[in-house]
Amino acid sequence: MTTSEAVPDPKIEAINHFFSAYAANGVKAMSVVLAPDIEWTIPGHHPLSGTKHGLDEVVSFFDRLGKAGFQAEPLFLGSNGEYVVDIHRGWTTQGVGQVDTMWALVWHFDDDGQVNRVVNLSGDQHQMDNYVWANFPLAPLPARLARWQKETA
């Protein structure tokens, strides 16, 4: 009888590494698989939505999520060519309200084997929007306008 071992996919291994680091709130360890010029798009109509540009913005975003008690449980990973798709359950453990939904992420790998683009897709965007607005309010209007005025001067 012969058996064959599947050759591990380095892209799948990279995403597994990311999720292991995420579970340990190891923001620096998560960033190992991310390209310096990464673009990470978060859907929604809330203060944390939009595209994060560069490693500093992405790391800051995940640091904030870690402090809010976000958790993720990978359920499926598939890859082809330049992409990995993951399906995971994502939920909160702290804060006002809760998030507990399915997420799909589309991970794109560059020629160096690092993730350079990620697009999140939420199973319940309204739940996430409500949670973020309840837990991550915008700065008071005078402070926001003062910052905007400095940036446009």
User: Per-residue pLDDT tens for 12-50?
Assistant: 999 999 999 988 888 889 889 999 999 999 999 999 999
pLDDT at residue 149, as a whole number: 73
**CA–CA distance from 27 to each of 16, 19, 73, 134 (Å)?**
14, 10, 17, 24
Structure tokens at 104: 């799909």
Alpha-carbon span 127 to 92, nearest angstrom:
11
| All domains in the chain, ordered by first residue | 10-152 (3.10.450.50)
Which residues contact residue 112 at a Cβ distance below 8 angstroms, ignoring those fewer than 6 apart? 35
Q: What is the pTM of this model?
A: 0.85
pLDDT higher at 133 or 152: 133
Q: Are 48 and 42 in contact (CB under 8 A)?
A: yes
